[in-house]
Amino acid sequence: MPSVQITWVAGRSAEQKRKIAQRVTQALVEEGKAKIENVHVTFHDLPATDYAEAGVMVADQKRTA
């Protein structure tokens, strides 16, 4: 049973997550030969104060994109 956990900084909409879950699931079905009913996708949304990239808290980063 494939289980995919996506951990990222919070901010995506339910619709974005829905589309991502569908695409990840489809990839596992097509390429991994998994049964669709066995694919599980979990989203872990973290506040920017709880996630760091390259040693810098995301909350402290200045993002342009």
Summarised one tens digit per residue, pLDDT across range 3-62 is 999 999 999 999 999 999 999 999 999 999 999 999 999 999 999 999 999 999 999 998
Residues 6+ apart with CB under 8 A from 17: 43
What whole-number distance in Å separates Cα of residue 9 and Cα of residue 63? 13
Is there a contact between 9 and 50 (Cβ–Cβ < 8 Å)? no
Is there a contact between 44 and 5 (Cβ–Cβ < 8 Å)? yes
For the chain, domains (ranges, CATH) are 3-60 (3.30.429.10)
- 65 pLDDT exceeds 80? no
Catalytic residue IDs = 2
Q: How much is the pTM?
A: 0.85
